[in-house]
Structure formats: structure tokens, C-alpha cells
Structure 1
Amino acid sequence: MLYHLYELNQAALHPARAAAEAYRMMWRNPLNPASHTVVGRGAAAALELFERSTRRYRKPEWDIDTVTAHGMTAAVKPVTVLAKPFCNLVHFQRELPNAVQKKDPKVLLVAPMAGHFATLLRGTVRDLLPDHDVYVTEWIDARFVPRSAGPFDLDTYIDYIIEFLQGFGGNVHVMAVCQPTVPVFAAVSLMEARRDPNVPRSMVLMAGPIDARKSPTAVNKYATGKPLSWFRQNVITQVPWPYPGHMRLVYPGFLQLSGFMGMNLERHVTAHRDLFHNLIQGDGDSAAKHREFYDEFLAVMDLSAEYYLQTIETVFMEHKLPKGEMHHHGELVDPSKIKRVPLMTVEGYKDDITGIGQTEAALELCTGLPDSMKAHHLQEGVGHYGVFNGSRFRNEILPKVRKFMRAHQGQGSLLKRVLQRVA
């Protein structure tokens, strides 16, 4: 019923949004003398704020058209190389000579499935492309997945990661950002336990809740402040008709967005007030930056109820992975089995979503991995998003990640040959 009320509200506001956009264009038309006055600019600014505040934001585009790599400017084209019901594996193909491309390590960038779309990592992809052959998991909004596709939970998520990694035949480095650190870590642990020759060359875990008991944040406290039954009864609802996924149980994106906004409400109010003043003053650059950020931030997707509830229970409530109690389809997830995959963890000193030590805990759990194959980096001066995006990531974090990957570029093929001899 909650989702239906939300859709009814969206439909009811549609005429008002259309009218606001029409009047905004009138007030901004340079042929209108009032558009050059404070009153005209103020009216246009108010109408834009209304339209943007009531709009449902759609999935953003990647908007990565070119890259400068190895002294050449090359076109970039995102191509879906594997399509599954809940995820597309997207390859950012660079139009470079094959001999040049082969020198760059392949990277599987596992995007978060935590409300925002994979395009949240646009900056990460853009910064990786000059020196890496990049693939990204593009998770699909659950409201567009028909019920006939079946359920999707944390176990299925891990299945997807294992399938993707196996498809590279061991010739890939995997990088997980935030939420997927747990399923990626679990997937590699399971592959190691099975002696799978297709394990990745290295694994980089960034700002993720491997052990949410350490330095708990407001997000962690929210997840543990209520029983699982409360989440099931209060935040899970059915997708309404006419979406392809109608009647599928989901944790809707608009509820996730309200949580995102509530965490830093004062900052978001201030940002929109600044937008209003920038529009009146004619500061187009500042207004454009605001639109770019919030077009991404306010675009959210629905999550499968099974996945959301299992993640809340396994990762945040019962801490099954660090306690050695996590199972995948009945099989124990044992990180101590990781012996062939070098591991690097990255955290942000000011991270208010994933506390310090939560990601580094992965290194402690890999008791079978020698210290020479472990690395950790704590970045000063960055919060959660700064760990994987922005100037600090580009200039301070990424060089260390790049160095780590290249140091272990031959790791996978060597171990694979050893395994083949043993077999």
C-alpha cells in the first residue's frame, strides 16, 4: 500500500511539475524583459526548485565518451557483455590498438547495490580507464525485474560474482566499493575453498562493512536498533502495476533516499538554498555542479526484499562473516582459505558510513594469506565517497591501488599453472 500511495502522489504532482517547468521556461526566456530582473530570476529559481524537489530521478547515463590513455585520445563505449535478470556486466571498450590494451590489467569494478545506480562510480571508472581495462556490474532496479525471474538474495549475489570472475578465467583484478565488499570477499573465499583456478589476480576492498562491529556508525546503529521483523513489516512493500516487477517484494528506493537525506538533512537544505541564490545571481557554474551531483544522488533504485533483509541480518545484526558463521547455500564461507589472492583494503579517515577498521578486518580474517600479499591504506581527509571518487582518490588512493594491482599482475597466471601441474 505504501508504494501505491507514493505512485499516487507522483501522479497527482505531475500536472504541477509540468506547469512549473513551462512557467520556468517563460521566466528564463531572454525575449521576456522580466527574465533580466531579480523578480524574474527569482521566479524561475523557485519554479526549478519545486520541479527538482518533486521529480522522480531516472537512472543517469555514464557520459564517458573519451579517455586519454598511453598518449592517445580514444573513444569509449559501454557495452553489455553479459546480461542477467538482476545485473548487466558492462565493459567500457576503449578504441585503442590491441597491443596497447593487452598491457593494461583487467579490472572488475563491483558497484554497490545499496540504493544508488552503478553510475555513482562514474568518477571511479573515468579515473581507472587510462591505465585499466574496466568492467562494471550494473545492477538493475528490482521494480523492472519480472517475478518470473525468481528471487534475488545475498546468496544469489555471491553466485553472480563467482560467475563473473570465472568468466575472466583468472585474468582480472576485482575491486569492490562499499556494500559489495562482503559478497566479493565471500565469493573469493568460496572459490579458494573449492580450489577454483579462476580466482582473481588480486582483490581490493574499499570502505565496506566486513566487520560492522568496529567503529559503528549511525548506519550500523540504525540497522541494529530494531528487530528484523520491524524491517520486514515497515519498509518492505510490493511493486505496483504497471511496472514489470509488479507484486515483487522490495525495499523501495524512495525510502532509501529518505534515509540518505535524513542523515545529513541540514547539509542538503543548505545546498538547495545555495542553488536558489546561485540561480538568482546567475552563477551558472555553481548551479550546474549542484544539478550534476543531485541528479546522481537523488536517482535511486528498488532492492529485492530477500537481498535487503538477508544483508541486514547477516552483515549488520549477526556479523556472521567475521564470526565465522556465514554460509552460502549451506557451505561455510571461510576467509582463511584465501591463499592465492593478494588483498588490499582502503578506508577513509572521515567515513561516517563505514567506520575505521570495518574493511581492514578482512586482512585479519585472511589468516592463510602471507603478509607480503596484504596491504592497507587509510586515507586522511576523506569521507565515504572520497574513498572512491574525487581528487584524493585520483591523486593519492588510486596510485597505490594501481601499484598493488601491477605488482600482482602475474600472480593469477602463475598460480593457475601451479594448480594445473598439481592436478
Structure 2
Amino acid sequence: MKYHVWQAQADLMAHLRLYTEATAQAMHQPWLAELPAARRIAAACAVFASAQVTHSRPDFGIERTTLGSGAAAREVLVHEEKIHVLPFCTLLRFAKEGADGQPERQPQPQPQPRVLLVAPMSGHFATLLRDTVRTMLPDHDVYITDWHNGRDVPLSAGAFGLDQYTRYLIEFLGVLGEGAHMLAVCQPCVPALAATAIMAEDGHPATPRSLTLMAGPVDVRISPTEVNRLAISKPYSWFERNMIGIVPQRHRGAGREVYPGFMQLTAFMSMNLERHMEAFRGLYRDLANGELERAAATRAFYAEYFAVLDLPAEFYLETIRDIFQHAALACGQLRFEGRPVRPEAIRRTALLTVEGERDDICALGQTMAAHDLCSGIPAFLKSHHMQAGVGHYGVFSGRRWTQQTYPMVREMIYGTD
């Protein structure tokens, strides 16, 4: 019922936005545009229109990248290739082309390292890692898990829980083939580590050559954050009763039980409500004062932030239970398709963990815990980086990611490729 109520409210707000957008356009008429009152009205309408939750994946918008450096640097075109499509996810490749539209012929003796970038399924689309992709593209052959919106997946596709998530990663690595690398950001650090452990134990030829875990909840018992405390403050049955909705009939996934993306968005925003309110006050001031460049940056951020993805109920509830409430991987109790997950079985995969000093979602030590679990990896194949001065998103995006964290990731991948 909660999803249906939200959908009705969203439909009503959509009609109101049509009126406000029309009003804003009217205020931009030449004979009105210079009046302070008209600018304030247009700014208010634009702010209202920006506070819109959508369920459509934004574009990555990565059309070009640069290969080489200095005098040898050259710009090449980039296009997205759907390499392998499954009901809940598409394996997407950012393919590079020459200026003539033909596949780029690498000047290096060897092709660039193939990297599977595992995006979180945590209420937002994989485009949240746009900056991660853009930074890695010049040096790597980048693939990403482009998770589908749960409300768009028909019931006939079946359930999707942690087992299926882990199985998808194993299948995608199999598609990439021997010698690929895997980098997981945030929530997928646990299934990425589990997939690597299962593949290593089975002697799978596509076991990743390196595994990078960034700001992920490997052991949430270490320095619990507000997110961790919320997950253990209620019994599992409470999350079942209160956090799950049923997709309305108007969508392809009608009847599927999901954790609605708008509920996840609400939870995230409530953690830093005053900061978001100030951002919208700043947006109004910038628009009213003609600071259009700053206003455009704010609107672009919230267009991405308000694009939400519904999580299959099985995946959400199992994540609450196994990762946040029981810390099953860290306690040696996580199972995959009925068999125990044994991180100590990993012996030849290099491991890099990355954490942010000011991360209030995944605290210091929670990701680094993977080193103790992976006791079979030799010390010379293990490394850890604590990025000073960044919160959760600064671990994989922004200036410090590009200038300080990424060079370590690149060095580790190239050192083991």
C-alpha cells in the first residue's frame, strides 16, 4: 500500500511541476527577466522542479577519453556496449574507438587491463560511479554492473537475493575471461569478496587477478556508524513489515516486492537533512542572483541523487540480516548457495582496501577487515589506503579520488596484470 500511496502523490506532484515549469518559462520573457521579483519567482519554481524523484537511469555522458600523455596524448571516442544482459543487470563496457569510429588500436604491447567495476545496488543507479569510470578509462578497459530498477523486472524473472548477486559477479567475470580485475564500491564489497573466494576455491580460471574493495561493510561491528546502528535497532521482522512495498500495476515489475528507492533516499537525506536544505537554499540564491554555473552544478547533483532504483525485497532483507545484523562474512557464517564462503581460500588474488577518513556510512576499519579474513593471500599481495579528508563519496569520486586514491588503484592493478 505504501508504494501505491507514494505513486499517487508523485503523480500529483508531476502535474504541479508542469505549472511551475510554465511559470518559470514565463518569468524568462525579455520584458520580465530583468525584474528582481521575476527572477525570484523563476528561482523558486526551478528549485521546486529540482526536488523531483525519478526512476529512470541518467546517462553516463562519457563520450570521450584521452589515451597517452604529453605529446603522445590523443582523444578517442567512447561508446557503451551491452556485453551480457541478465534480468537484473547488464554488463556494460565503455568501448574506445578511434576518431574514424573504428575500434581503438592500443599502442601498448599488451591490451589495457580489464576491470569489472561493481556498482552498489543501494537505491541509486550505477551512474553514481560516473567519476570513477571517467577516471579509470584512460588506463583500463572498463566494464560496469549496470543494475536494473527492480520495479521494471517482471515477476517471471524470479527472486534476486545475495546468492543471485554473487552468482552474477561470477558469471560476469567468466564473460571477461582469465586475467581480469574486480573493483567493488560500498555495498557490493561483501558479495565481491564472496565471489572471489568461491571462484578461488573452485579453481575457476576467471578468478580475478586483483580485488579492490572501497568503503564497504565487510565487518560492521568495527566502529559502527548511524547506518549500522539503524540496521540493528529493529528486529528483522520489523524491516519485513515496514520497509517493503509492492510495485503498482502500471510498471513492468507489477506485483514484485521491493525496497522502494524513495524510502532509501529519504533515509539518506534524513542523515544530513540540514545540509540538503542549505543546498536548496543556496540553489535558490544562485538562480535569483544569476549565478547560473553554480546553480547548474547543484541541479546536476540532485538530478543524479533523486534518480532512485528499487531493490528486490530478497536482496534488501538478506543484506540487512546477513551483512548488517549478523556480520555473517566476518563471523565465518556466510553461505553461498548452501556452501560456506571461505575467504582464506583466496591465495593468488591481490587485495587492496580503501577507506575514507570521514566516512559516516562505512567507518574506518570495516573494509580493512578483509585483510584478516583473507589469511591465504601473501602479505606482499595485500595493501590498504586510508584517504585523508574525504567522506563516503570522496572515496570514489572528486579531486582526492582522482589525484591521490586512483594512482594507488592503478598501480596495484598494473602491478598484478
The answer to whether the superposition gives a TM-score over 0.5 is: yes
Deviation at 1:55, TM superposition (A): 4.9
Match of 2:366 in 1: 358
Deviation at 1:53, TM superposition (A): 2.1
Distance in structure 2 (CA, Å) of the matches to 1:275 and 1:401 = 35
Distance in structure 2 (CA, Å) of the matches to 1:308 and 1:57 = 18
Match of 1:281 in 2: 289
Match of 1:56 in 2: 54
1:136-155 counterparts in 2 under 5 A?
136-155=144-163
Match of 1:228 in 2: 236
For residues 164-183 of structure 1, the C-alpha deviation after alignment (integer angstroms, 9 at most, x for no partner) is 11122222110000001000
Q: How many residues align?
A: 407
Distance in structure 2 (CA, Å) of the matches to 1:338 and 1:172 = 15
Distance in structure 2 (CA, Å) of the matches to 1:160 and 1:268 = 35
1:402 aligns with 2:404: no
Match of 1:390 in 2: 398
1:47 aligns with 2:45: yes
Deviation at 1:234, TM superposition (A): 0.3
Deviation at 1:335, TM superposition (A): 0.4
1:325 aligns with 2:323: no
1:264 aligns with 2:266: no
| Residue 92 to residue 54, structure 1, CA distance change in 2 (3 Å) | closer
Match of 2:220 in 1: 212
SS in 1 for 2:51: helix
C-alpha contact (below 8 Å) 1:117/1:139 kept by paired residues: yes
SS in 2 for 1:161: helix
| Residue 196 to residue 347, structure 1, CA distance change in 2 (3 Å) | same
Distance in structure 2 (CA, Å) of the matches to 1:336 and 1:40 = 65
Match of 1:156 in 2: 164
Distance in structure 2 (CA, Å) of the matches to 1:396 and 1:15 = 46
C-alpha contact (below 8 Å) 2:84/2:91 kept by paired residues: yes
Distance in structure 1 (CA, Å) of the matches to 2:310 and 2:40 = 35
Match of 1:100 among 107, 116, 119: 107
SS in 2 for 1:231: helix
Distance in structure 1 (CA, Å) of the matches to 2:189 and 2:55 = 27
SS in 1 for 2:58: coil
1:404-419 counterparts in 2 under 5 A?
404-409=412-417
- The 4+ residue runs of structure 1 with deviation greater than 4 A are none
C-alpha contact (below 8 Å) 1:189/1:335 kept by paired residues: yes
C-alpha contact (below 8 Å) 2:53/2:308 kept by paired residues: no
1:67 aligns with 2:69: no
Match of 1:175 in 2: 183
Match of 1:198 in 2: 206
Distance in structure 1 (CA, Å) of the matches to 2:291 and 2:206 = 52
C-alpha contact (below 8 Å) 1:57/1:295 kept by paired residues: no
1:327-346 counterparts in 2 under 5 A?
327-346=335-354
C-alpha contact (below 8 Å) 1:223/1:316 kept by paired residues: yes
For residues 211-268 of structure 1, the C-alpha deviation after alignment (integer angstroms, 9 at most, x for no partner) is 0111110000011110010000001010001100000000001101100110100000
1:109-120 counterparts in 2 under 5 A?
109-120=117-128
TM-score (norm 2): 0.96
C-alpha contact (below 8 Å) 1:154/1:311 kept by paired residues: yes
- Listed as ranges, the gaps of 5+ residues in structure 2 are 99-103
- Listed as ranges, the gaps of 5+ residues in structure 1 are 410-423
Match of 1:299 in 2: 307
SS in 1 for 2:81: strand
Identity among equivalent positions (%) equals 45
| Residue 36 to residue 57, structure 1, CA distance change in 2 (3 Å) | farther
1:9 aligns with 2:14: no
Match of 1:419 in 2: none
TM-score (norm 1): 0.95
Deviation at 1:54, TM superposition (A): 4.3
Match of 2:101 in 1: none
For residues 337-368 of structure 1, the C-alpha deviation after alignment (integer angstroms, 9 at most, x for no partner) is 00010100000010000010000000111111
Distance in structure 1 (CA, Å) of the matches to 2:402 and 2:75 = 19
SS in 2 for 1:98: coil
The one-letter amino acid paired with 1:89 is: L
Deviation at 1:136, TM superposition (A): 0.5
Distance in structure 2 (CA, Å) of the matches to 1:388 and 1:127 = 10
